[in-house]
Amino acid sequence: MRSRRPLRRIALVLSAMALVASCGGSDDGAATAEGPKAQRVPLHLEGVADEVEFGSPVQLSVPGGQIDSVEVAPEGGEPVAGDVVDDGSSWQSSGDLQPGGAYSVTVVASDRLGQEHTFTDAFAVGAVPDANRLTLSMQPADGSVVGVGAPVTIRFDQEVTERENVEQALQVSSNPQVEGSWHWVSATEVHFRPREYWPSGTQVRVDLALNGVQAGDDLWGGRSYDLDFAVGKAQVATVDAATHTMTVTVDGQPAGTWATSLGAPEFATRNGTYIVLEKFETRQMTSCNANITCDPNNPEYYDLEVPNSVRLTWSGTFVHSASWSEGSQGSENVSHGCINLSDANGAAYFRLAQYGDVLTVTNSTRGPEDLVERGDPGMADWNLTWDQYVAGSALGEPVTTAALG
């Protein structure tokens, strides 16, 4: 992958002992075709600066010589690509140098008499400047245990325009291995999910080898990242808006069937598959924050401390205890879009819920399309067909996770 920054030449002038024609005698007195004798003339050696600016190519030259081979490589790493240029006495790198890396240089060149000379040197590469460094956050948390629907979520602090470059640097390993795909929700967010839910007990490792990867114009990865997480029990909930029930299974075994009340017709809860995002023992909920009304005189106004609140979308869909609607739970949908449970059942679900658990709503009157379009993390991953999800990959194809040793 070549740097797209304007090239700034950094010369490494290498010189050494070379044979040139002379009227005087040489150390060994040998005659040559260029004159009666040849004399060894010492030439000085110049090296690169201690540090080379990241994003700039390296140019090496042996004035008066012909370069036979060049190796510029980090310790234990692959040599940097490059080409002999000009009259054969210069070489210029074409591959990217790792920011913060230390490189050794070995050049073999021939003099005018065909004798080979070997030169060595070394240099360091500067870090990506802060203003040009790609930064990010990841979810799940390192070392966490998650639900079977949990995606790997990477949120960038800058817009990524070179998505293929970045996606090629992202690797997911797991035991057992699964088929999955990356999917760009936006220019600043990319997700990975398996084709089917993660098998319970799966161990997952994510490696982001972004150090030195070009992510956009004057935007580069400045370091690599990794995280490990485990998939816990398969905790799956199904909510039926027609029968007003919520059924929960754990690893395929029934864990509860509870009466519920969903959104009233004008605030219908969306059909579709959600994942649990976070939970709060209590959560302040207001109609003003929900963009319903800020007028205390409006009959739809509310301002409540809500217990056992489990978030399903950033737009404001929760499962929670709602003592005020217990008379309607199991028979009528009366909420402002949340999934209401009794105090006891809400507490039971709250204790179970973990990031990435799956909940599917059926038989409501509203679809998930608006939240999928907006990339709401609660609904962005499991409400697309597999083909649609893969189409969101910059590389345009699914992958099989690498084996996790």
d(Cα 194, Cα 361) in Å, to the nearest integer?
21
- Return the SS3 of 6: coil
Whether residue 118 sits in one domain with residue 56: yes
CATH of the domain at 48: 2.60.40.3780
Asked if 389 and 183 touch (Cβ cutoff 8 Å), the reply is: yes
63 touches 53 (CB < 8 A): no
What is the count of structural domains for the chain?
A: 3
Would 15 be classed as within a structural domain?
yes
Please tell me the predicted confidence (pLDDT) of residue 63: 85
Residue 3 lies in a domain: no
Residue 89 domain flag:
yes
> Smallest Cα–Cα separation from 79: which of 60, 50, 106, 52?
106
The predicted pLDDT at position 40 comes to 52
Is the pLDDT at 207 greater than 60? The verdict is yes
Same-domain check for residues 146 and 211: yes
Mean pLDDT across 21-46: 37
Please indicate, yes or no, if residue 361 is contained in any of the structural domains: yes
Question: Same domain for 379 and 258?
Answer: yes
- Residues 240 and 324 occupy one common structural domain: yes
* Distance in angstroms between the alpha carbons of the first and the last residue of the chain: 29
For residue 183, pLDDT beyond 90? yes
Instruction: Answer yes or no: are the C-beta atoms of 318 and 282 closer than 8 Å.
Output: no
Q: Is 141 helix (H, G, I), strand (E, B) or coil?
A: coil
State phi, psi for 177 to the nearest 5 degrees.
Answer: -70, 145
Same domain, 260 and 183: no
Residue 107 vs residues 9, 63, 89, 117: alpha-carbon distances, Å: 18, 13, 11, 8
Closest CA to 55 of 108, 135, 129: 129
134 and 110 within one domain: no
Query: Quick check: 115 and 108 in contact, CB under 8 A?
Result: no
Q: What is the CATH number of the domain that holds 365?
A: 2.40.440.10
> Which positions are catalytic?
320, 338
Q: Are residues 63 and 91 in the same domain?
A: yes
Q: Are residues 255 and 342 in the same domain?
A: yes
Q: Are residues 316 and 265 in the same domain?
A: yes
CATH number of residue 176's parent domain: 2.60.40.3710
pLDDT in tens, 97-112: 888 889 999 999 888 8
> Among 81, 104, 125, which residue terminates a domain?
125
Domain extent at residue 81: 11-125
Q: What single-letter amino acid sits at 397?
A: E
Specify the pTM.
0.80
Domain boundary among 125, 145, 171: 125
**229 lies in some domain:** no
What confidence score (pLDDT) does residue 100 get? 87
The span from the CA of 233 to the CA of 5, in Å, is: 48
Distances (CA, A) of 95 to 1, 92, 151, 161, 379: 6, 9, 33, 20, 40
Same domain, 119 and 145: no
Considering only CA atoms, which of 54, 99, 105, 59 is closest in space to residue 79? 105
Whole-angstrom Cα distance, residue 309 to residue 278?
A: 9
What does the alpha-carbon distance between residue 93 and residue 96 come to, in Å, rounded to a whole number?
8
Q: Residues 272-305: pLDDT tens digits?
A: 999 999 999 999 999 998 889 999 999 899 999 9
